[in-house]
Amino acid sequence: MKVTRTAIPGAFLIDLEVHGDKRGYFLESYQRRRYANLGLDAEFVQDNRSFSQKGVLRGMHYQVRHAIGHLVYVTHGRVFDVGIDLRPKSPTFGKHIAFTLAAENNQQLYLPPGVAHGFCTLGEENEILYKCTDYYFPDDEAGVLWNDPDLGIQWPLTNPVITPRDAAFPRLKNIDPANLPRVRDGKGGRHQ
């Protein structure tokens, strides 16, 4: 397994180790001790599965009081996966990272709590599994406009299938700082 630090502190691109032969392959998609030894010591409390047809865009989502970290893995298809750092005291606040994740490349992307998450689908059918560091609270969810010109995200599609709610999220510059993610530090305190 290879772990690569990204331009956003605390976010990692992970290349999984695949063991294969003519019968097929085996890989370990998560093992807490191994990930902790590599510097990714997150506690995951919920697993999610998302299935989308080609051209769907979901995001850019985050939770305010219950900031969520995500460990994203594509099991079928291909997605353009994006994280935007919304942690106010982060040196990369307002910056984004983006990677194309595909079933055949066996990579994961870890986005720490306080990083908004979204993706668009590139394959005909796309299945994504992701582990979360906190529970989903519908009333706590917020978002950033997916095509906010200030963010400069180079999406690989121009006319995505998107929900009216996601299309109506505000630009980052119009979000009240009180509505940005409140990220807990390792000792249970809060960053603002």
Q: ∠ CA 149-154-156 to the nearest 5 degrees? A: 130
- Whole-angstrom distance between the N-terminal and C-terminal Cα of the chain? 34
CA distance 103 to 164: 29
pLDDT at residue 40, rounded to an integer: 86
**Residue 12 CB partners (closer than 8 Å, separation 6+):** 3, 4, 5, 6, 38, 39, 40, 109, 110
pLDDT at residue 31, rounded to an integer: 87
pTM tops 0.85: yes
pLDDT at residue 185, rounded to an integer: 64
pLDDT at residue 191, rounded to an integer: 36
**Tens digit of pLDDT per residue, the chain (192 long)?**
899 999 999 999 999 888 888 998 888 888 899 888 888 889 999 999 999 999 999 999 999 999 999 999 999 999 999 999 999 999 999 999 999 999 999 999 999 999 999 999 999 999 999 999 999 999 999 999 999 999 999 999 989 999 999 999 999 999 999 999 999 764 333 333
CA distance 140 to 34: 32
CA distance 97 to 6: 8
pLDDT at residue 50, rounded to an integer: 97
CA distance 153 to 84: 10
Q: Which residue has the tokens 């005291």?
A: 89
Count the Cβ atoms, other than its own, within 10 Å of residue 184.
Answer: 16
CATH top-level class of 43-179 = mainly beta
> Which residues are tagged catalytic?
61, 130
Q: ∠ CA 92-110-74 to the nearest 5 degrees? A: 130
For residue 138, count CB atoms less than 10 angstroms from its CB and return exposed for 0-12, middle for 13-18, buried for 19 or more.
exposed
Contact 179, 122 (CB under 8 A): no
Q: ∠ CA 37-43-49 to the nearest 5 degrees? A: 110
